């Protein structure tokens, strides 16, 4: 009764009006009776040209192809609320599919969904790979660099591509990154009469014709010098392209720990240098978001290259000097200040922008920035930490400890009842 009352209060229709039907390459032959009935009963059927063609014998209503951009069709569908509308989608609509797009605008309770096995499920079944043990990546309409964090020795990956060029691009990336010995499977048109599965080494890729509807499987084999990204925070400095302006490995690990990243949060990395903090933040989980703010154009370009090389192309780089460059950016859940924090207005602007309950971490290796952090700690509280590291290095014919520059770190959590003091 409570559910019914809630639905009525939100004006949700008790009977779903939007049907979403997953289709495979076998078309209507792979559909059950209920799915066929819903397609036939629909007043309006949306889908891609291929979907509409596959289901043409069932469609009695008006067939409409997706508009470009697709948001236009989503808005049209919303305007049809209450009529019998059917959407034809590929495979499982809620696994990197159209269902996920539609639920951003239409309540799931208004939908009736009948999924088909996804390309991932079909590929796993063809190869005999347990789906739960695999890394699943969609490169459809997305950067191929997203696969880089998953290139772990002996890992198995399923990667959905955009088109017929995807397998060759993936083979090239694997080879250039030191994974050329990996076994690459190209699985085309799964479930249809044109299905084909081809296996080869990535560095021996030679397919000249590939069906645009394909998914790739990779059994990762790392060669000598392969660019493997360890799973722990504090990646080796040598993995980053930098000009010396980088939060060093040990300090970076401690900084990530102090920032306490949570799934889906947004980080501002102010004075980003090489982008190492923002990059490692995003590597913690695919849902993480980060904005790197950097005033030097060369460093900003370097951050973008690093983001691609680490498989986090979603890292946003803002070229400009703080605090001016912070204006208009989305509210951050966490802020790291690694450079330029002693400049007038930077600390105040960062504190004002941070959401209530968010975390700010600032590092210092200069007396000027130390003074800023000491003053902020005295005014607002939080924690101050002194980090001192020494590394063994040659001293003549012997070995001794050479201290790195000591680091001061201030960590502060913005109170939920914080009020602007300016």
Instruction: Report the CATH number at residue 179.
Output: 3.30.950.10
For residue 9, what pLDDT band results from cuts at 50, 70 and 90? very low
Question: Last residue of a domain, which of 116, 137, 155?
Answer: 116
**Are residues 73 and 158 located together in one domain of the fold?**
no
Q: What is the pTM of this model?
A: 0.89
Q: What is the rounded radius of gyration, in angstroms, for the C-alpha atoms of the chain?
A: 26
pLDDT at residue 6 in the model? 46
Q: What pLDDT shows up at residue 421?
A: 58
> Backbone phi, then psi, for 322, in 5-degree steps?
-75, 145
Residue 72, preceding bond cis, omega within 30 degrees? no
pLDDT digits 0-9 by tens, 275-297: 999 999 999 999 999 999 999 99
| pLDDT tens digits along 39-85 | 999 999 999 999 999 999 999 999 999 999 999 999 999 999 999 99
Using the predicted structure, report yes or no on whether residue 23 has a pLDDT greater than 50.
yes
Burial category of 127 from C-beta neighbours within 10 Å (exposed 0-12, middle 13-18, buried 19 and up): middle
Domains of the chain: total: 3
Q: Give a yes or no: residue 230 inside a domain.
A: no
Q: Is residue 363 part of a domain?
A: yes
Secondary structure (DSSP) of 2-43: HHHHHHHHTT--SS--EEEEEE-TTGGGG--HHHHHHHHH-S
Q: Are residues 308 and 400 in the same domain?
A: yes
Q: What is the pLDDT of residues 122-181, one digit of tens each?
A: 999 999 999 999 999 999 999 999 999 999 999 999 999 999 999 999 999 999 999 999
> Are residues 193 and 135 both part of a single domain?
yes
Instruction: Identify whether residues 244 and 367 lie together within a single domain.
Output: yes
Give the end of a domain, one of 116, 146, 166: 116
Helices (H), 268-345: 276-283, 297-309
- Do both 302 and 390 map to the same domain? yes
Distance CA 121, CA 130 (A): 9
CA proximity to 52, closest of 18, 16, 23, 30 = 23
Q: Are residues 195 and 327 in the same domain?
A: no
The range of the structural domain enclosing residue 378 comes to 237-413
> Does residue 271 come out as left (phi exceeding 0), alpha (psi in the -120 to 50 range) or beta?
left
Residues 187-235 have pLDDT tens digits of: 999 999 999 999 999 999 999 999 999 999 999 999 999 999 999 999 9
209 and 353 co-located in one domain: no
Q: What is the rounded average pLDDT for all residues in the chain?
A: 93
State the CATH number of the domain containing residue 251: 3.40.50.150
Tell me which residue of 341, 348, 335, 388 sits closest to 369, measured CA to CA: 341
Largest CA distance in the chain: 88
Q: Which residues contact 327 (CB under 8 A, 6 or more apart)?
A: none
Listed in sequence order, the residues at least 6 apart from 344 whose beta carbon sits closer than 8 Å to its beta carbon are none
Interatomic CA distance for residues 153 and 221, integer angstroms: 6
Do 253 and 390 sit in the same domain of this protein? Answer: yes
420 in a domain, yes or no? Answer: no
Rounded Cα distance, 129 and 214, in Å: 17
Q: Considering the domain boundaries, does residue 30 fall inside one?
A: yes
Whether the pLDDT of residue 11 is over 80: the answer is no
Q: What is the pLDDT of residue 14?
A: 56
Instruction: Pull the structure tokens for residue 377.
Output: 């700690």
- Whether 227 is in a domain gets the answer no
Mean predicted confidence (pLDDT) in 262-272:
97
> Of 98, 116, 134, which residue constitutes the final position of a domain?
116
Strand duo 390-395 + 183-188: pairing = unpaired
pLDDT band at 2 (very low <50, low <70, confident <90, very high): very low
């Amino acid at each position: 009764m409570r559910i019914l009352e809630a639905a009525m209060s939100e004006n949700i229709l008790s009977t779903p009006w939007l049907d979403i039907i997953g289709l495979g390459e076998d078309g209507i032959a792979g559909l059950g009776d209920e799915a066929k009935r819903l397609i036939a009963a629909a007043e309006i059927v949306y889908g891609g040209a291929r979907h509409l063609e596959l289901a043409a014998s069932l469609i009695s209503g008006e067939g409409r192809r997706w508009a470009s951009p697709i948001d236009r069709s989503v808005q049209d569908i919303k305007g049809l609320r209450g009529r019998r509308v059917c959407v034809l989608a590929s495979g499982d609509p809620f696994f990197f599919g159209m269902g996920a797009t539609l639920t951003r605008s239409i309540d799931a309770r208004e939908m009736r969904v009948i999924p088909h096995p996804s390309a991932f499920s079909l590929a796993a079944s063809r190869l005999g790979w347990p789906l739960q043990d695999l890394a699943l990546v969609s490169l459809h309409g997305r950067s191929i660099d997203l696969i880089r964090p998953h290139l772990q020795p002996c890992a198995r990956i399923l990667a959905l591509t955009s088109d017929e060029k995807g397998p060759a691009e993936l083979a090239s990336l694997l080879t250039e990154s030191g994974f050329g010995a990996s076994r690459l499977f190209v699985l085309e048109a799964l479930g249809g009469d044109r299905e084909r599965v081809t296996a080869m080494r990535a560095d021996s890729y030679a397919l000249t014709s590939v069906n645009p509807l394909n998914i790739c499987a990779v059994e990762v084999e790392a060669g000598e010098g392969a660019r493997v990204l360890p799973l722990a925070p504090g990646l080796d400095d040598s993995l980053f392209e930098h000009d010396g302006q980088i939060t060093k490995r040990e300090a970076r690990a401690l900084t990530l720990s102090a920032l306490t990243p949570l799934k889906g949060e947004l980080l501002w990395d102010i004075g980003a240098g090489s982008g190492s903090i923002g990059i490692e933040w995003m590597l913690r989980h695919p849902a993480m978001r980060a904005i790197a703010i950097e005033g030097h154009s060369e460093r900003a370009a370097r951050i973008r290259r690093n983001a691609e090389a680490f498989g986090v192309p979603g890292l946003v780089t803002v070229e400009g000097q703080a605090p001016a460059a912070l204006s208009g950016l989305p509210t951050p859940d966490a802020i790291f200040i690694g450079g330029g924090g002693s400049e007038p207005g930077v600390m105040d602007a960062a504190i004002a922008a941070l959401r209530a309950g968010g975390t700010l971490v600032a590092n210092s290796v200069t007396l000027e920035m130390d003074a800023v952090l000491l003053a902020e700690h005295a005014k607002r509280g939080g924690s101050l930490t002194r980090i001192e590291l020494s590394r063994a290095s040659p001293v003549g014919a012997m070995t001794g400890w050479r201290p790195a520059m000591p680091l001061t770190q201030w960590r502060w959590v913005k109170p939920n009842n914080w009020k602007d003091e300016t």
